[in-house]
Structure 1
């Protein structure tokens, strides 16, 4: 029986490293595309990328510069180009494949939706937002849509904030809680949509195996929480009894000092995984309390 092959672009980050190991665990051959010296193909070599893609049944593109930075002109350009240009490069290389992947799952982001505290944002009913992060997400998805690869199903995966042992957004939140600053941030009513990295891996396999899933797919737990509950659960997972709330003005000042954006904690993301639920996908980590406990155990 022929070994299944996946090509992962951007395989060295928190999610990419996890995916690479999990695909290996499941018996897949893994080919990697990226900037790291160990990658099978590098971004400046279309021929090597075509070779990595040719004969693979699945392409998962996770490439993109971290958004955990100040959005100055240089960082804005890097954030945009690291998503749009890598997607364009993959399309160009795939067009040269004799046997292209039959599924191309390209990262996108749940941040594409508007600030929502009133209604969940599904693929069908969700309203797109405005601002730099949304502009990047639109350009990213537009680049995928423009890719001329007729033999390949293209799926933009609108991913919520990814949680897991050893990475993701939880490190800074845990550090704040340990310092006694683990109260709610800003109003505390903003929604926090999230997904455990293992469920994200399972979503990728599920989407690949369900050819009827097309267009954008939301990848988020069906049970988001608000920021007040998020920080309470973070404290509980660490055994920290209390946390001082942080008003929005103080977050703005602190974000300048640690060179990040308050949007990462103040925007209300309410992402509903309607397509996945309707197709029968079952989450292993649907509740944040359970996910945080599992992550805390893994970090120990």
Structure 2
């Protein structure tokens, strides 16, 4: 039997590199789409729609992760690039798939749990989650709209509404989403951020991979899918667990005004730590998905151990 074929778009980032390694280890053949198409093993590049169609022809699964990192200041130029890098690449994939005679059965497109409103009252599920407002939400809405606009009735399309993805830092690839929290803890500022009541939905990158495999094997699941580990914590608890993992006994709280100053200095946005993201993976849980890292303490320990190797 021939090995299944994955086409991975936007494969150069932290999540993409991790998925490449895991799918390869499990015997999949991998074709990638990137900005240049020049890297070894890459078979297509953005702007070369005909080449993308050839890469997609005869494949089994398309996973698209393309998009500029949101860890930046939201000035006019960055806002335009965040928006464009998601919607235009998704639209180009739709055009390329329309030209295929044997397209993949499944197209899973990255999205974000940030599409839901700031929620401290209850979890946001796929069935009853309330969409929010603001720049990040409008980007997510447009991203998902680009996925559904193409006339591709034979292809199952699922927006993956991922919570904050955690994993070990790898030089040249990124990851290490916990590093800013760890720096604060080591410098004595490892207490709550602002009120500390904002929820923190997260998932380990290994569970992103496992969720993608799980969904590919279950064609009955349709529509957007949340990817968020079951144990949601608030910011106060998050920082307590970070301190415990680092064996730091105490941390002073960080007020919102100081967080804003720090965000300017490191060229990011305060929304990334102050928005309350309370996301529940109702579809995965009801379908019987088993999380490898359901609890934050286990995920933090695994990340710490991997970074020490």
TM-score (norm 1): 0.98
- The answer to whether structure 1 residue 60 and structure 2 residue 68 are counterparts is no
Partner of 1:116: 119
Tell me the distance in 1 between the aligned counterparts of 2:103 and 2:51: 14
Match of 2:226 in 1: 218
Where does residue 243 of structure 1 map in the other structure?
Answer: 251
The equivalent residue for 1:173 is 181
What SS does structure 2 have at the residue aligned with 1:11? coil
> What pairs with 1:1-300 in structure 2 (closer than 5 Å)?
1-36=1-36, 37-38=38-39, 39-166=42-169, 167-300=175-308
Using the TM superposition, give the Cα deviation of residue 68 of structure 1 relative to its aligned residue in structure 2, in angstroms. Answer: 0.4
Q: What is the root-mean-square deviation in Å for CA atoms of aligned residues? A: 0.9
More displaced stretch, 144-153 vs 8-17: 144-153
List gaps (5 residues or longer) in structure 2. Answer: 170-174
Q: Alpha-carbon deviation of 1:12?
A: 0.8
Q: 3-state SS of the aligned residue for 2:286?
A: helix
1:28-87 CA-to-partner distances (Å, cap 9, x unmatched) read 000000125313211021111111111110000011100001100000000001100000
Q: Following TM superposition, by how much is the alpha carbon of 1:168 offset from its aligned partner in structure 2, in angstroms?
A: 4.1
Preserved contact between residue 217 and residue 275 of structure 1 (Cα < 8 Å):
yes
Query: How many Å apart are 1:19 and its aligned residue?
Result: 0.1
In structure 2, C-alpha distance between the alignment counterparts of 1:101 and 1:294, rounded to whole Å: 34
Using the alignment, how far apart are the partners of 2:176 and 2:266 within structure 1? Answer: 17
Deviates more, 1:41-50 or 1:23-32: 41-50
* Counterpart-to-counterpart distance in 1, 2:155 and 2:289: 22
Answer whether contact 1:162 1:168 (CA < 8 A) is retained: no
Q: Deviations over 1:136-180 (max 9, x none)?
A: 000001111102112110000100000011214212222222222
Structure 1 Cα separation of the partners of residues 185 and 218 of structure 2: 41
Instruction: Verify the 8 A CA contact 1:6 1:28 in the aligned structure 2.
Output: yes
Partner secondary structure for residue 231 of structure 2: coil
How far, CA to CA, are the matches of 2:8 and 2:251 in structure 1?
40
CA–CA distance in structure 1, aligned partners of residues 143 and 265 of structure 2: 29
Q: CA deviation at 1:284?
A: 0.6
Q: Which runs of 4+ in 1 moved over 4 A?
A: none
Contact 1:191 1:224 in 2 (8 A): yes
Size of the alignment, in residue pairs?
300
Match of 2:172 in 1: none
